[in-house]
Amino acid sequence: MSEIRKNYIRPVDFKHGRVDMTHGSGGRAMAQLIDELFMSAFDNEFLRQQNDQACFRVPTGRMVMATDSHVVSPLFFPGGDIGCLSVHGTVNDVAMSGAQPLYLSAGFILEEGFPLADLKRIVESMARAAMEAGVPIVTGDTKVVEQGKGDGVFINTTGVGVVPEGVDISGNRARPGDVILVSGHLGDHGVAIMAQREDLAFDLPIRSDTAALHGLVAAMVEAVPGIHCLRDPTRGGLATTLNELAQQSRAGMVIREGAIPVREEVKAACEFLGLDPLYVANEGKLVAICPAEEADRLLATMRAHPLGRDAAVIGEVTEDAHHFVQMETAFGGKRIVDWLTGEQLPRIC
């Protein structure tokens, strides 16, 4: 007589297994994946409620909410992966209002055939990032699409947070005379990603700067509650962020090329690829704009934090009906730092 073990379920094969359509079908395979992977990695009291929603109490005050979808390619890159990036990205979007991020949600779109070992690596990296940030992932969702209809894995994260009393940070608050600061070296993330893309056989010691900035923001807001604007210069880089802020605040800006911190390696890679570091993405940097009289204190606070060690004052907000962002070049001339058109392309000749 054969002996069948009661309720035996073969564990998910995280070594050689691959995502298949059953992992998104709502059946036993999906429940098992959620249980063995997501629940065990993200474990917290809210997930343990095992409901379709997370229920939590919030402090009183102004709440903020931000969402961000992550489709980065390659999924793993020097200094990080799509997992930690998806946590940092949303934590930072929430934090740029001056808020303390509280909770995150995570939605996964997996492509059929994606190795479970890679998925596990990504989820564990997310869990680590969330734990380090002190912002739990309290609810989630998983969908599977047929092969060829995704790019391995897409992750959407949404975050909520609460703004401390007396803080009013918004992209439309830059005023002529305000000072513009950045929290460190620009272009690391974009160049690290670009160097990994297969068509560019590049070997560079540059790592992505992906990091959660809410700790830095909390210190900044405490020292200078009157900060006018905060934004993380992700896609499109510093140039795009400054143009957005100039447009929103209906002001102009003048920055000094010589004051903008860019690593030598990043400069060299950009030179080689025909890119401008001002347009290259960052994932662990922020731009701050504050009244001139508070700039010194803000700079000192930023520099005292590990994620703001290389912070610098890079320019001023000006009155300008055209909302131009202008730059005094290190060469001694002037030029516009314009919105990016299409994608940055290397020179032909």
Q: Do the beta carbons of residue 341 and residue 268 sit within 8 Å?
A: no
Cβ-based nearer residue to other proteins, 104 or 312: 312
Determine the Cα–Cα distance for residues 217 and 284; give it in Å rounded to an integer: 12
The residues in 283-312 that bind other proteins, with binding defined as CB under 8 A, are none
For residue 51, state whether it binds other proteins (rule: CB under 8 A).
no
Q: Which stretch binds other proteins (CB under 8 A): 36-44, 84-92, 305-313, 327-335?
A: 327-335
Q: Do the beta carbons of residue 260 and residue 155 sit within 8 Å?
A: no
CB of 115 to other proteins, least distance (A): 23
Q: Do the beta carbons of residue 56 and residue 46 sit within 8 Å?
A: yes
**Amino acid identity for residue 238 in this structure:** L
How does DSSP classify residue 278? G
Q: Within 13 Å of residue 330, how many CA atoms lie on the same side as its CB?
A: 6
- Using DSSP's 3-state secondary structure scheme, residue 349 falls into coil
Q: Which stretch binds other proteins (CB under 8 A): 7-15, 22-30, 183-191, 331-339?
A: 331-339
Cβ-based nearer residue to other proteins, 146 or 338: 338
Contact residues for 4 (Cβ-Cβ < 8 A; gap 6+):
none
Radius of gyration of the chain (CA): 22
How does DSSP classify residue 149? S
For residue 331, state whether it binds other proteins (rule: CB under 8 A).
yes
CB of 308 to other proteins, least distance (A): 25
x-marked contacts with other proteins along 213-232 as a string, rule CB under 8 A:
--------------------
Number of other residues whose CB lies within 10 A of the CB of residue 10 = 6
x-marked contacts with other proteins along 266-285 as a string, rule CB under 8 A:
-xx--x--------------
Cβ-based nearer residue to other proteins, 247 or 326: 326
CA dihedral 239→241→243→249, nearest 10 degrees, is -150
The residues in 180-209 that bind other proteins, with binding defined as CB under 8 A, are 199-200
Q: Do the beta carbons of residue 330 and residue 261 sit within 8 Å?
A: no
For residue 329, state whether it binds other proteins (rule: CB under 8 A).
yes
CB of 327 to other proteins, least distance (A): 8
Cβ-based nearer residue to other proteins, 127 or 325: 325
Determine the Cα–Cα distance for residues 59 and 56; give it in Å rounded to an integer: 10
CB of 347 to other proteins, least distance (A): 7
Q: Which stretch binds other proteins (CB under 8 A): 42-50, 52-60, 68-76, 325-333?
A: 325-333
The residues in 231-270 that bind other proteins, with binding defined as CB under 8 A, are 258, 264, 267-268
Q: Phi first, then psi: give them for residue 121, nearest 5 degrees.
A: -60, -45
For residue 35, state whether it binds other proteins (rule: CB under 8 A).
no
Which residues contact other proteins (rule: CB under 8 A)? 199-200, 258, 264, 267-268, 271, 322, 324, 326, 329-336, 338, 341-343, 345-349
